[in-house]
Amino acid sequence: MKTAMHVMVFLKKKELQAFEPPFDMSQCVDGDCHDCAEHMHGHSHADTINNSELLVQHCCPEEGANTRETENKKDEEVHMVGCSQPAACNLGISQGEDKSCNDGKDASAAANCQDTDCFASSTDENVTPGHRRAPSLPLDVPPVDVDKVRCIIRNIVRDWAQEGQIERDECYKPILEELNRLFPDRSRPPSCLVPGAGLGRLALEISSLGFVSQGNEFSYYMMICSSFILNHTQEANEWTIYPWIHNNCNSLSDKDQLRAVSFPDIHPSSAGITEGFSMCAGDFVEVYNEESQESAWDAVVTCFFLDTAHNIVEYIEIISKILKDGGIWVNMGPLLYHFADAYGPDDDMSIELSLEDVKRVAYHYGFVMEMEKMIDTTYTANMVSMMQNRYRAAFWTMRKDVSRSKAKKRQ
């Protein structure tokens, strides 16, 4: 069983080589090389693998661009495809500003750790070749980046470990059952977009149902981890992590805090995905507000995504725009608006609507409610913790009404 350290080392070496790293990757052989997400922006990358594995291709945004356009590049190892069409890519990752967890407010600050195996002391003159210190590489990791990594580890449990099956049954299973009911004939695979796809499990499950599924993810932390799981896993339960080791509160026992979790619980390439499964990197608003996306999708699935918006009205408008007439919107999640506590003069805006007002806005943009209910669920919860936070998540199915959509266009 491979350790979590080997997971992180392999992940970072494999993925960061696709970008332009700020230092020579060959100088960090055995340890955990610290990286910064800002260095990754504006670089497209994809991994080419053999036929026995999945192919995850990322369509990455250009830094500073008003629209998220992708570059089609070919060389001996990399083949990039755009994410402007539902079936263009083969696998994928989305969200707004880097709030990888649905509730980032409870993340505690953590002490920064240094890997002494990777970086030799500057006073040590006898540095072995495998332990050379990367020149001018800062060893201090900002606490906010530490919190994001911890959040990713919890999301691994939610999406790709057996321990997360309860949450997946609460959140993903109703969505999958609804799609299965609404699209009984999938001989010609319908297209489905999953904004805020996170680590890609829901998008993969939808693809396994017979949909041309595309996940969209904004967080590079999520993207790197999902690419590793989807593209570089050789077997189920190949990797082991200790996701709760940093949680010192509300533990019933030391054993609970130190327990190991293996992932992934399934081998992704053996999940029976439909051809065309892809992950598209970039901000949802900028990527899918393009003319090429208009009426492109048969279904849109949003799970714990709507409240990541600065402007939820804009999200709903774009969802309506990209759905075909008669298209389906399935939503699951609370309204814990991520930017609600931003009060400074330089903070971005945050529009926070009640659930009732959200449904009114959806009606304004041509949606008709077909089914709705509330579902109790958790998000990246430690199931044996003494404290359990639960959401009463809104679950609904809306359909883009042909006549109402046309009437709105004439106004």
Tell me the CATH number at 346. Answer: 3.40.50.150
Cα angle 11, 96, 213 (rounded to 5 degrees) comes to 70
**Using CA atoms, how far apart are residues 63 and 40, in angstroms rounded to an integer?**
9
Q: Domain range for residue 179?
A: 145-409
* DSSP-derived 3-state class of residue 400: strand
* First vs last C-alpha separation in the chain: 62
Calculate helix-pair angle for 165-182, 201-208, nearest 10 degrees: 40
- pLDDT at 141 (0 to 100): 87
Low-confidence ranges of the chain (pLDDT < 50): 1-2, 9, 11-12, 15-16, 18-55, 58, 60-82, 84, 87-131
- pLDDT at 275 (0 to 100): 95
8 Å CB contact between 350 and 337: yes
pLDDT digits (tens, 9 = 90+) for 13-37: 554 454 443 333 333 333 333 333 3
Q: Does residue 337 form part of some domain?
A: yes
Q: Does residue 106 form part of some domain?
A: no
- pLDDT at 248 (0 to 100): 93
Q: Does residue 17 form part of some domain?
A: no
Q: Does residue 227 form part of some domain?
A: yes
8 Å CB contact between 89 and 57: yes
Q: How many CA atoms lie within 13 A of 188 on its CB side?
A: 1
- pLDDT at 348 (0 to 100): 75
Q: Does residue 262 form part of some domain?
A: yes
- pLDDT at 341 (0 to 100): 83
- pLDDT at 71 (0 to 100): 36
Name the domain count of the chain.
Answer: 1
Written as one letter, the residue type at 181 is R
Helix (H) or strand (E) holding 8: helix 4-16
CA 352, chain centre distance (Å)? 23
Going by their DSSP bridges, the two strands 323-333 and 297-303 should be labelled as parallel
CA 189, chain centre distance (Å)? 23
Q: Does residue 44 form part of some domain?
A: no
Helix (H) or strand (E) holding 190: none
Q: Does residue 86 form part of some domain?
A: no
Q: Does residue 389 form part of some domain?
A: yes
Cα angle 198, 100, 106 (rounded to 5 degrees) comes to 140
